[in-house]
Structures are given as structure tokens and as C-alpha cells.
Structure 1
Amino acid sequence: MTQLGVRWTADQVLALAPDAASRKAGSKLGAAGPWSETGSSGEGAVWGLCRGSGAELHRTVVDVAEPSGPAYTCSCPSRKVPCKHVLGLLLMWSGGEGAVPVRAETQAPDWAERWLTVRRGRRREERAAEAPGSAAGSADPEAARRRAERRAERITAGATELEQRLADLLRSGLAAAEQPGYGLWEETAARMVDAQAPGLATRVRELGAIAGSGPGWPVRLLEECALLHLLDQGWLHRERLPESLAATVRTRVGLTRSPDGPPLRDDWLVLAQYDVADPKLTTRRIWLHGVASGRTALVLSYGAAGRAPDLNLPVGLALDAEVSAYPAAGQPRGALGEQFAPPVPTAVRPAGVTTAEAAARYGSALRDDPWLESVPVTLDGVVPTPDGASWQLADADGDTALPLTPSATARPGLWRLLALSGGAPVKVFGECGHRGFTPLTAWPPTPGEPVPLC
């Protein structure tokens, strides 16, 4: 267990905030004024009472030692997770021992002690249930095989129907795709959901967003139709594919598999963390880099619409943990396993490549996964420079560059990157794909903490 002597920085605390308003409100509560009965323990707990607008005191407790990221509770009615009181308490704790004194475990107030006991007891039960051979993880293998066969039959029927619909679209001409509107695509997507192929449903909905989306949309629609047709054919003829590529097809169609790679223990550096939200689900994407192994892994965490996922690993931390790979060619997704200590700040930076090497890496990955949108890449010694109406990252010691994606140029993170660089070469981690490069984290030219750009 890491003791509370290793404290987070203010930037790492504010990275937990669900939005800008929460960061601002939490910063105002990062001083001792509204707080009383604050304390922390060597077991990783921080607590305190915060005075609200009235006479009520909000009870706030944070378990900083939770390996998957801090766990917290607060008696305030806010629906934001974490709330401003949690952020304020952590900001005050990050300032040093003088602001939140270290107390003996027996000096924790009863309301804080009760929550910590329940929380840690629940985590012990979850770990026991997840252990190999546990009763909770056992199942009837024959029943599971029959369910898998029935689902495969439904997906095959759905893929066959989708092939017919794509053929009808091409026969009538792409120009006609704009007239029916989004309803036709949503109906087709619903049919794929009924076929238990959520991956196909997602791609069909993306087709509906392309039609009539601006100049050149027929070309983009044809490209996506070709990729969808390729995925359909991959599923319908999966027995002819190499096992690694067949595993990728199953994943792309929407069949979930458990990680089957041997657990790799390493000090995993948190390279980036950002959320992708839709009306039903919030997906948190966390990129990790193994300091010793050099491996990069994508860990996903999910939350219901409007709620943040449970897993929270601020950029710049490192955790001693095991990560197991999922069975799919070209996709670096992994599952976070046993964690041997809470995340701690680190000065380690990943090794980088040139922009030409980054583009070649993406091209090579497409051989294993033709549907791959991007690959994780760290660029070394690049300078953000204007490129007409857009921006690019150019090698400081070369004559090649990568254009930034349209989404990247619209983010405030672009201006943070420009300010960090000031015209000097910087190290940048991001995702490199056919639309360009999306910067997610950057390191200053001189020693310093990483700056999240997303």
C-alpha cells in the first residue's frame, strides 16, 4: 500500500472533475475556510465536513488508496460525480500535511469509518467472486455453448439481410440515399440489434449520419459501405480466416470475449483518459503504457448515461498492476487485473517516434484489422504548425508532418498544446488514423508534468 505521503498534484485532482463548472466550484473549496474535522489516515482515507449555504454540514469521504482510482461519497444532493466537495477536499489534501492532518485510524469519525468499512468489505467480496474457480464465476459450459450457437445463427441471418440492403442501396444509386432520411438507417440498425450484432448496428447508424453531411458525402458513404460489406463477408466466411483475424471480426460484429492473454505485470503509466458519451452510455477510454515492457493497452470503463464510469486514472500517474490482452488482432485493448498499489505520480515519459514512423505503424496495423480507426502513438520532437486553415504536427528534425484531425482542431486542447510548445519541439501522445492525428497528452520541452489535451 502506498501511504498518503505521496500526494497528487492539483492538476491530477482537477482531472477528476466531470466538467468545467465543477472544476471552478471545487477550486473555491480547496481552502480550509469552509471545512472542519478534516483528517487523513495512513490507510488511504481522507475526510472532512464542509459548510453549505445553510446550517447543514456535508459529510465528504474519499478512499484515495483504491487501486482503480479514488472512491468517494458526499452527503450533498449534487448529481455530479465527483461533486465539488470531493474535489475541494482532495485539492486541500494535495497541498500538504498541514492542510489535512494525518490522524490515527481510530480518530476517524463514525460516519467516515462506517462508509470506509462497507466500501472495502464490498471490494474484498468482488475480488473473491472474480477469482478463478469461484462459485460466482462458474457456469454450465454446455448451456453456454448452445447460447453461443443460437446467437451466431441470429448474427448470420442479420449479416445476410444487411448484405441485401447494401446491394439494394448500390443498385438504386448513392444519390438516392439522402432522400429517405435517417429513419431508414435506424430501422436497419434496429434489425441488427434484434440479430444480437451491436457492432453492425453501430456502423449502420454511422452510415445514416453520412448521407447529406456536406461536400463529398457520397465518397465517404461508399467507403463506409465497403468496410461494412467487408465486415459482413468476414463474419459469413469466418471459418476461412486466420484465428487472429476471425477474433477481430467477432469483436467488430459485437461478440464480447474475455481477455485470454497471460497477465502482464508492469508499472503502467496513464497516458490519456477521456470520455465518449452517447444517449445511453458513457465510455471512458484509458491508455496505459508499460514502462518495462513498452506495451500500450486501452482499458475501457462504462457508465450509464449521465454518470461517470467508476474507473478513474488521472494522466501522469503510474500503477503497479497486471493487464491481460483481449483476443483480437491489431487491437491493443486490455483488461486491468490485480493492482498491487494505488496509482502514484511519476516522471517517466514513453519513448516516441517520428511522424513518418507513426503513419507506417497505422498502415501496418490495418493488415490485421481493416476496420481500425486509429493506433496509439507517441510522437517525439514535433512542433505544432499551421497548415492552411488547419494545423499539423511537424518533425523538428525532418521534413514530414501529420495533419491534426478536424475534431482536434476544434478542441481547447489545441491551444494548450501551442502554449506548451511555444515553437519548441514537444513529446505528444495521441491516436493516429486515416483522418489524421488526435493529440491527447503532451509533455513540455523541459522536465515537467504531462498536460492533458482532451
Structure 2
Amino acid sequence: MTEQGVRRTADQVLALAPDAASRKAGSKLGAAGPWSEAGSGEGAVWGLCKGSGSKPYQTVVDLAGAAGPAYKCSCPSRKFPCKHALGLLLLWAGGDGSVPASAQPPDWAGQWLAGRRSRAETKRVQQAEGGAAADPEAARRRAERRAERVTAGATELERRLTDLLRGGLASAEQAGYALWDETAARMVDAQAPGLAARVRELGAIPASGAGWPVRLLEECALLHLLDQGWLHRDRLPDALAATVRTRLGLPAAVEGPPLRDRWLVLAQYDTADAKLTTRRIWLHGAGSGHTRLLLSYGAAGRAPELALPVGLALDAELSVHAGAGQSRATLGERFAAPAPAAFRPPGVTTGEAAARYGEALRDDPWLESVPVTLDRVTPVPDGDLWQLADADADSALPLSRTARSRPGLWRLVALSGGAPVTVFGECGHRGFTPLTAWPEDAGEAVPLC
């Protein structure tokens, strides 16, 4: 393993934190005071952090793992990374000599690094051998059994939607969440997590304010369309059938050979529920011009393992998942550490962004949003709301409710200062959600989430 060649910025380090409390505590430990015997080398950073006990905490971060940084600390925290790992990375990111380059890590760090990398190599070999030795007939039978359960679940959901419409939408308001929670549980039993997630969203619509019957009817229609797509999947084009499978939550096959490119890390953000933390990472290929989405998961309360620094580019292969209009990909082999990038994705106007979303809906009617880079836009207030207005055209996009509730909105306003900026984000029927911005002149990417 070679030394990680690029230091992360403080924002990139804090983006690894599992929660706000960890970010705050880690920031306090990003100074040299509590640290001793800190060093870096062989793709790792290590150090001893003075705590409340008699012995300092032994902290080490492996920066050379294929899936992103890995952390080890002798503190009792169950968070990954803990505040000590965050503080150590912040100290290293400062580049003031507090974490000098060393020839070899100390024994306590070296043993963990060697063991982890040995296990990772063993796992890689086993996966390669297991993939070749897998029983295709057994896999086919498992897929058939799951398809039968999904079909039973979709058929039952159709009956429940029919009963709802026959009884009138007012019954949904009277039933509350209980109706939808029980239906969602049945979809989980049918191994259709995508259906379960959409059903749960229906439960919140009757309490969403004026006009809820229209919104509920629209969502029921989309759910019915998804059901029918699965029940008649043999009549669909292959790409659309693959999209239906993806929306139901079934695994999607990889399509075509891996694509190697210099992938700019556009954005990274997490969403969480009671059981799972989902990390979304958007990448843009310098040569291909493609924008792709990586998904990574972690148990509740834990940050997913994969983490990539926003604004840097990595030389790597991506494998794209099948499906019409799908942008999801899987990260393959990486050929170099992330490095500074001078390029940005080409931008469009707000009108072109809205049209791009409309065109994407033809391939995937259930699509919530598309990745878009807006060129020369300015954040401006619109009454109690905000919008991004074109500097060179008479058009604008409203910001989504999610964007208006994030601190990143004020970071975007401050970065703009009334001048045009370049903004990458997600454009959909709920508005535009900005994720990363660049000043109009040369400047580093500023994460907004």
C-alpha cells in the first residue's frame, strides 16, 4: 500500500461523521494538544489521544481500503468513525507538521492494518472464486421463488388499492397510519421492499395539508402502475422490465463491461431511518460525460463504509446497473488515490433541467429526480420560499422543501453573495435540491449537504 497522496479538507473529513454530535466533538480534537506519537505512512494515519483515563486512546485510520477509510480506536464509542478518528484526520488535514510522515506505523497500529488488509485480500479472492463456482441452477430456483412471493404481494396490493378507491379516499384519512403500516409489512413479507417503502409514504399524505386527496390519488396511480408493470413484465421491453425490478427492490444485474474514467465526486449525503443509513454518492466522468450514483449502506447509527471526498476525482472503474433511465452503478477497481480535479460537469439552464426531468420520466415513471448541474444561477427569495434564477434567462427553479430545511441553503447564499454560481443537485417534481456549488470563477467545490 502506498501513502494516500491527497489530504482531505476539514469539510471532507467532517462529512465522514455519523452524526452532528460526532462532528462537534471531533472538531474539538482536531488540534495538536491532546495528541502524541502521531504519524502517517503506508496509506494510514495513527496517533495517541489523551482521554479521561490513565492510558491514551490508540487511534488508527486506514486510508488505502478499496471501499474507503476504515477506523480503529481503543475508546468505548460504538460510532464509526468516533470523535478521536475524526480529530486525528482533522489534525492530519491541517498539514502543519503535527502528523509527520513516518517510515513504519507502531506495532499496535501495524498489526491492525496488516490483519485488516490480509482479510480484505482473502475476501476478494473468495468472492472471485465463489462467483465462478456459484451454482446457476440454485440461483435460478431462488430467483423463481422470490418472484412468486413478489407476485403474490403485488396481487394483494392491487386488491387493497381497489378496496380503497371503492370505499372512497376519505376512508384513508379515517384509517390513519395503521392501514398502511400493516400493508407495508405484508409487502416486506413478500420480499418487495420497494413496494413497502412506497406504501409507507401513502400513510403521510392525508395529513399533508390541503389538496391531499389529489396527491394520494396520484401516488396510488403510480403504485398501481408499478404493480401492473411487475404482473405483466413479460410484455415489457427488457430495459423497462429491469427498471420495474429495481423499483420493487429486487437486485439489478450489471449491464455491459466496467467503464474506466476519471470520476469527479460531485456530492455525498446520508439519509437514515430506524434500521438503515443510506449514503448516496454522485460521480461525473471526465471522459464519458456520464453521471452515476453509488449507494452504500450502514446499520442504524453507523455511517456506511464507502466515503469519497467531494471535489476530488478518482481513476476507477464503474459497472452500470441495468434499467431504462437508471443511473446507479457499482464501484470497481480503483487505480489511484483521489486527486484534485480542475474540471466541472457542463451546466444547463433551469428550463433545460426541468425538460431533462420530464424526458427521464418517459423511461422511468417512478423517478423522483435526476442529477443536474445548473450553470450561472443565483439563489433568490420568493416570498417565504427560495428559488434558483438563471442569470442569463427569464426562468427559475423552486428549491425543494428538503433544501429549504438544510443549513446548506445559507452556505449557498453566502457563496453566491448575489453573483451567479454553478450548482449541482437533484431536480424533480418537488423542486431542486442543491448538493454542491462552485463560485463562478475558479474555486473548490463547496458541499451543501
Letter matched to residue 129 of structure 1 = Q
* CA distance 1:99–1:317, shift in 2 (3 Å): same
Does residue 98 of structure 2 align to residue 99 of structure 1?
yes
Letter matched to residue 18 of structure 1 = P
What are the superposed Cα offsets for residues 304-352 of structure 1, whole Å, 9 maximum, x if unpaired? 1111111111211211110000011111000001111222333332111
Letter matched to residue 314 of structure 1 = P
2:413 match: 418
2:113 match: 116
Consecutive aligned runs of 4 or more in structure 1 exceeding 3 Å deviation: 1-5
The unaligned stretches of length 5 or more in structure 2 are none
**Offset at 1:77?**
1.1
1:170 match: 165
1:81 match: 80
1:234 match: 229
1:20 match: 20
**Offset at 1:129?**
2.5
1:308 match: 303
**Offset at 1:395?**
0.6
What are the superposed Cα offsets for residues 84-105 of structure 1, whole Å, 9 maximum, x if unpaired? 2111111111222622111112
Decide whether the 8 Å contact of 2:4 with 2:337 is kept in 1: no
User: What does 1:26-175 align with in structure 2 at a 5 Å threshold?
Assistant: 26-41=26-41, 43-96=42-95, 98-105=97-104, 108-131=105-128, 134-135=129-130, 138-175=133-170
**Offset at 1:172?**
0.9
For the residues of structure 1 that align with 2:341 and 2:54, how far apart are their CA atoms?
41
For the residues of structure 2 that align with 1:240 and 1:401, how far apart are their CA atoms?
40
Decide whether the 8 Å contact of 2:39 with 2:45 is kept in 1: yes
3-state DSSP of counterpart to 1:211 = helix
Does residue 207 of structure 2 align to residue 208 of structure 1?
no
* CA distance 1:101–1:162, shift in 2 (3 Å): same
Decide whether the 8 Å contact of 2:18 with 2:301 is kept in 1: no
1:320 match: 315
3-state DSSP of counterpart to 1:301 = strand
For the residues of structure 1 that align with 2:91 and 2:141, how far apart are their CA atoms?
55
**Offset at 1:388?**
2.0
Decide whether the 8 Å contact of 2:239 with 2:323 is kept in 1: yes
Decide whether the 8 Å contact of 1:282 with 1:309 is kept in 2: yes
Decide whether the 8 Å contact of 2:6 with 2:338 is kept in 1: no
Letter matched to residue 278 of structure 2 = T
TM-score (norm 2): 0.97
What are the superposed Cα offsets for residues 220-264 of structure 1, whole Å, 9 maximum, x if unpaired? 100000000101111111111111001101111121123233100
Decide whether the 8 Å contact of 1:323 with 1:335 is kept in 2: yes
For the residues of structure 2 that align with 1:395 and 1:88, how far apart are their CA atoms?
40
What are the superposed Cα offsets for residues 134-182 of structure 1, whole Å, 9 maximum, x if unpaired? 1365322112212222222222222111111111111111111111121
**Offset at 1:213?**
2.4
Aligned residues: 449
CA-atom RMSD, angstroms?
1.5
For the residues of structure 2 that align with 1:271 and 1:261, how far apart are their CA atoms?
24
Decide whether the 8 Å contact of 1:263 with 1:323 is kept in 2: yes
Decide which moves more: 325-334 or 340-349: 340-349
3-state DSSP of counterpart to 2:253 = coil
Does residue 428 of structure 2 align to residue 429 of structure 1?
no
Decide whether the 8 Å contact of 1:282 with 1:306 is kept in 2: yes
3-state DSSP of counterpart to 1:48 = strand
